[in-house]
Amino acid sequence: MKSCIDVIFQRRSIRNFKNDPVPDEILFQLIRAAQYAPSSWNRQPWRFIVIREREKLKTISGLLPYGKFLSRVPMAIAIVASERESDLWLVDGSIAAQNLMLAAENFDLGTCWIAECDKEEIKRILELPEEFHIITITPLGYPAVKPNAPKRKDLKEVLFLEKFGKGYL
């Protein structure tokens, strides 16, 4: 079992996958991990749609300007949230999605946050009720290629003491 901090540092956005299927027992654990995310007033406005049909993955990939690789992934999960259930649906849904992605890393599974998309058309394909918004559509599977971590800003660029701009370091 990896430590939490290992999971955080080892997670990468994965865009190339093996064909090996993800066992349901692991999938359910990922969804449970997402459900254990904090949410405003514990409203849990999220839902998770597993997408495995090849034709559907292909159609959706065509609606993602930066997610064409979705046509080739073993499966994807659309994480959606209801504006009726929570006015903070975007925050709630995003935290749940991050929980799912970190849990996936724990099982050596790859994910990738894909946000930009033709939202209306994808809503139609997934038959989302009007009140639901797409948070992200992430592929899920065993990585074929795990890239190195893209460089992060230096700590001194992002860490301040007492007031904005006053260097901690």
- Closest-CA residue to 140 (of 118, 117, 107, 116): 107
For residue 138, report the phi and psi dihedrals to the nearest 5 degrees. Answer: -115, 135
State the nearest-atom distance from the C-beta of 60 to ligand FMN, in Å: 12
- C-alpha 116/C-alpha 60 separation (Å) is 12
Identity of the residue, 8 or 28, whose beta carbon is nearer to ligand FMN in the bound complex: 8
Sign of CA dihedral 90, 123, 121, 103: positive
The torsion region of residue 112 among left (phi > 0), alpha (psi -120 to 50) and beta comes to beta
Minimum Å gap between C-beta 61 and ligand FMN is 11
CB 54 within 8 Å of CB 111: no
Cβ proximity to ligand FMN, 66 vs 168, nearer residue: 66
Closer residue to ligand FMN (CB): 87 or 116:
116
Q: What element of type H or E holds 135?
A: strand 132-140
Nearer to ligand FMN, 13 or 35 (CB): 13
Q: How far is the CB of 98 from ligand FMN (least distance, A)?
A: 9
Which residues of this protein are in contact with ligand FMN, per CB under 6 A?
12-13, 15, 66-67, 112-116, 149-150
- The CB-of-85 to ligand FMN minimum distance in angstroms stands at 21
> Which of 15, 123 has the CB closer to ligand FMN?
15
- The nearest distance, CB 149 to ligand FMN, in angstroms, is 5
